[in-house]
Amino acid sequence: MRVSSTKNLRFHHPDDRATFVDVVAGVPKDVDDWVRQSDMFKAASHGGTVSAYETPVTIAAAPAPEADASAKAKAPKAPAAD
């Protein structure tokens, strides 16, 4: 999950107050899902100070080597310098 905030915030783990995550105002940050369960997140999201959204992972396939070689072979050649 990614969060962004209009204020600097510290989210403490609901079960272990010694574990926390700091979020700087205006800088989106990837955080663990437990942040959504913290008291600070609940209060800040209710007040509109913090926003959360899921971060989809996109993996692009590398082009096949033969396709890359054929594209280079079909490319026009530059004219020779005089």
**Could you report the per-residue pLDDT of 21-46, keeping only the tens digit for each?**
999 999 999 999 999 999 999 999 99
pTM assigned to the model = 0.62
Tokens of 9: 């915030």
Tokens of 5: 């905030």
53 and 2 Cβ atoms separated by less than 8 Å: yes
Q: Average pLDDT in the 67-77 region?
A: 58
Could you give the C-alpha distances from 63 to 60, 67, 68, 70, in angstroms and in order? 9, 7, 7, 12
**Could you report the per-residue pLDDT of 42-58, keeping only the tens digit for each?**
999 998 999 998 866 55
pLDDT for 17: 87
50 and 5 Cβ atoms separated by less than 8 Å: yes
- Can you give the residue ranges of every domain in the chain? 2-73
